[in-house]
Amino acid sequence: MVMSLCCGCSHPPTYQHAREFEAEVGSWNLVDRTLSEASDVLLGKGFTCDGAECFRFVGGFPCVQHQSITLLLSTEGIVKEAQVRKLRDGQLPSSCA
C-alpha cells in the first residue's frame, strides 16, 4: 500500500543533457497532432502551456531544472516540431539556490 502511494507521487525526471530530454519528448509523439492534442499530452506530464509554449520546473534544492518546449505549427495548426529550449552548452536551463 505504501508503494502504490509513493509511485503516484513521483516527480518528472531531470536530465543530464538536453539531448536526453529531446529523446524523451520525441517518444511522446507530439508531431502531427493538433495544438490542443499536443497540449493535452504535455499537461498530463505536468507541463503548463500558454499557447504553443509549454514548461515545467523539475527538481528541488539546490537546483531546479527548467524544461521548456515550443510547439512549432503548420499553417493548418498541426504540430510540425517540438523544440526543446536549451543552452549553448547542450544543457537545460536551471536555477540554483
Per residue in 11-67, pLDDT tens?
Answer: 788 888 899 999 999 999 999 999 999 999 999 999 999 999 999 999 877 889 999
Indicate the average pLDDT of the chain: 88
Residue 46 CB neighbours (<10 A) = 13
Please check the confidence at residue 3 and state whether its pLDDT lies above 70.
no
Domain count, the chain: 1
Domain of residue 29: give its range. Answer: 14-89
Per-residue pLDDT reduced to its tens digit, 55-85: 999 987 788 999 999 999 999 999 999 999 9
Long-range residue pairs from 1-4, CB within 8 A, at least 24 positions apart, any chain: none
For residue 5, count CB atoms less than 10 angstroms from its CB and return exposed for 0-12, middle for 13-18, buried for 19 or more. exposed
